[in-house]
Amino acid sequence: MTATLRIGFIPLVDAAALIVAVDKGFAAAEGLEIELVREVSWSNVRDKLNIGLFDAAHLLAPVAIASSLGLGHVKVPIAAPFNLGINGNAITVSPALYAALMAEIDGDRFDPLVTAKALARVVAKRRQAGAEPLTFGMTFPFSTHNYQLRFWMAAAGVDPDEDVRLVVLPPPYMVDSLANGHVDAFCVGAPWNSVAVDLGIGHILHFVSDILLRAAEKVLAVRQAWADKNSETIAALVRAAVKGAAFIEHPENRAEAARILARPERIGVDATVIQRSLDGRLKISPDGTLRESNRYLLVGREGAGRPDPAQAAWLYAQMVRWGQTALSPDALVTAMEVFRPDLYDAAVGRGGLATDEASVAFGAFAGPAFDPRDVPGYLASFDVARRAR
């Protein structure tokens, strides 16, 4: 019997496992008939998932947690049985801001603490000159992009709520906003950083893997109530996504995967740009400077697909740090229960993992090691933070 599903996605490279699973026939082989629906904004994806217009969705990991906690919108418990991407974001800055930062650099320009301190000096000089605050684009209040920007800035004492402006923009609109001068920089997922560089309007300052070695980015999300009634369908969907991710992670398949993703109804960006993102070999400046990183985006390798509740705990801690909610032991448990390794294991078992180490090594460039068993202690270590009102 075939199960028919409607699944929403945003045109980003970290939707790759899902898109390839459908377009290469891995989903059909699992008895699934899937309609992928391209959306523009995360609020659209969240709302359509929550009210049942979508059966599943490519979703920001923090949105799944916020929805389950009833933060910023109605409370709809979400289950995430598959992690669609680890890392994959980057911070891109305008040529003017890049020049200002490089003029203040004292050390390795690929060290995020060095660039954060340079940013602090740029911010101070702008304030002294009476200039408008710098504006940074991010994709959603409950987003990795928001938390990663804040984590980076705050490490050098830049207060993201007082010293700069953070504005919400849908991922496909980031490039135009930078080109038009509406923002000075943005944090977004692939391929939009590369698009800005190729157009000559941006410099990639950091891969998110410079800031956090391993950060959960997008999840395959379903409503918990739907998951309770459709365990076999979820298992089939997870297996299809695992096969899609495995296909992508074979280097000889990358060109084909990039062509699939480049289609107008999918991501709609040149295949060579997408392949650079999959390969972790990105042009970071308009002059053609290349940078390679095997940690830029993990789609399936190193156990990336298996949800890690510790990652959910870190995201919840950021919500508390930046005043989006108050710290609550019960809420922490709820947040961690959104990430469902049990559903992943029921679908594919543990034997299919390339590595079995928990991704507890977040590898943050600053601050203490994160321990989900001591979130209060972790949060107490930061000077720049917000209290929930």
Determine the distance from the C-alpha atom of residue 181 to the mean position of all C-alpha atoms in its chain, rounded to a whole number. Answer: 24
pTM to 2 decimal places: 0.95
Residue 362 has a pLDDT of 84
| Nearest by Cα to 125 from 136, 135, 134, 112 | 134
Query: CATH homologous superfamily of domain 3-86+216-269+299-380?
Result: Periplasmic binding protein-like II (3.40.190.10)
256, containing H or E segment: helix 254-262
The domain segmentation of the chain, as residue ranges, is 3-86+216-269+299-380, 89-211
Residue 98 has a pLDDT of 98
Residue 208 has a pLDDT of 94
89-211 CATH: 3.40.190.10
Residue 176 has a pLDDT of 97
Residue ranges of the chain with per-residue pLDDT less than 50:
352-360
Residue 3 has a pLDDT of 87
Residue 351 has a pLDDT of 53
Same fold, 3-86+216-269+299-380 and 89-211: yes
Residue 46 has a pLDDT of 97
- What angle do the packed helices 61-69 and 309-321 form, to 10 degrees? 70
Beta strands 165-168 and 135-138: pairing type?
Answer: parallel
In 351-363, which positions are buried (b, 16+ CB within 10 angstroms) versus exposed (e)? ebbeeeeebeebe
